[in-house]
Amino acid sequence: MDFNVDIIFKIAAIGIIVAIVDVMLKRAGRDELAMMATLAGIIVVLIVIVQMINNFFVSVKTLFQL
Amino acid sequence: MFFMDMDIFRIAIIGICGVIISSVVKGYKAEFAIYVIMATVMVIFIMILYKLSYVFEFLGDIYNQISYGRNFFPIILKVLAVAYIADFTAQICKDAGEAAIAGKVELAGKVMIFYLAMPVMVAVLELINRMLPG
């Protein structure tokens, strides 16, 4: 049950790290790299969230016996 | 499953942490705030699902003893599931600022509940018809 709570913190940590990397890359003048890094971070978190949603809907289905 | 009765404290704290983390992340990258909100909502919902399974077992036992209830209990469960999921998705859409998508998801939920409830209405009308003389 506490595994689920860690996910929230991990997603927030990934978000803040991506933001920091983005700012640093923009300061170094590499704007395209910054955009790609941001996009990569968003896609990674998206994949994690989609897996969570999948688990969640499967458990709802088994609970309600749909 | 220890400490199952007072899980409301855990759920409250998770909710508050989710709000705080979401506002922190929103300052850096607004896209991640939605992910944090979705994760928080799903965590809380999964915690509630454990409790709900006991409630549904209990209700199922009660309804199995009524001759009319045996056909209609799965419909009640389906309607509940549609209502929960539609509400969950619509709230997340509203939090992301997409009120149009939220409205359509809610409308879809209402239409599906109506569609699922039609057999129950037909059965009630037949019952009334049988009870009326002539």
**Interface confidence (ipTM) of the complex:** 0.79
Interval A44-58: pLDDT, tens: 999 988 998 898 888
Radius of gyration (Cα) for chain A, nearest Å? 16
Q: State how far residue B128 is from chain A, nearest Cα, in angstroms.
A: 30
Gap between the Cα atoms of A24 and A12, Å rounded = 18
Residue A11 and residue B39 in contact, taking contact as beta carbons nearer than 8 Å: yes
pLDDT at residue A29 in the model: 87
B52-76: average pLDDT: 80
Residue B47 and residue B18 in contact, taking contact as beta carbons nearer than 8 Å: no
User: What SS3 state is found at B66?
Assistant: coil
3-state helix, strand, coil in chain B (%, to 5): 85, 0, 15
DSSP 8-state secondary structure symbol assigned to residue B108 = H
**First-residue to last-residue Cα distance in chain B:** 57
pLDDT at residue B65 in the model: 80
**First-residue to last-residue Cα distance in chain A:** 24
Question: Mutate which of B20, B28, B50 to test chain A, going by most A C-beta atoms within 10 A?
Answer: B28
* CA-to-CA dists, residue A52 to A32, A64, B132, angstroms: 30, 18, 53
Residue B61 Cα to chain centre, angstroms: 21
Q: State how far residue B122 is from chain A, nearest Cα, in angstroms.
A: 22
Identity of the residue in A8, A63, A66 whose CB atom sits nearest the CB atom of B49: A63
Gap between the Cα atoms of A22 and A32, Å rounded = 10
Gap between the Cα atoms of A19 and B117, Å rounded = 48
Interval A12-51: pLDDT, tens: 888 889 989 999 999 988 889 888 989 999 999 999 889 9
- In chain B, residues 59-118 whose CB comes closer than 8 Å to chain A: 74, 77-78, 80-81, 84-85
Among the listed residues A27, A39, A52, the one whose alpha carbon sits nearest the alpha carbon of residue B29: A39
Residue B55 and residue B80 in contact, taking contact as beta carbons nearer than 8 Å: no
B77-101: average pLDDT: 90
Between residues A24 and B46, the one the model is more confident about: A24
Question: Mutate which of A2, A11, A62, A65 to test chain B, going by most B C-beta atoms within 10 A?
Answer: A11
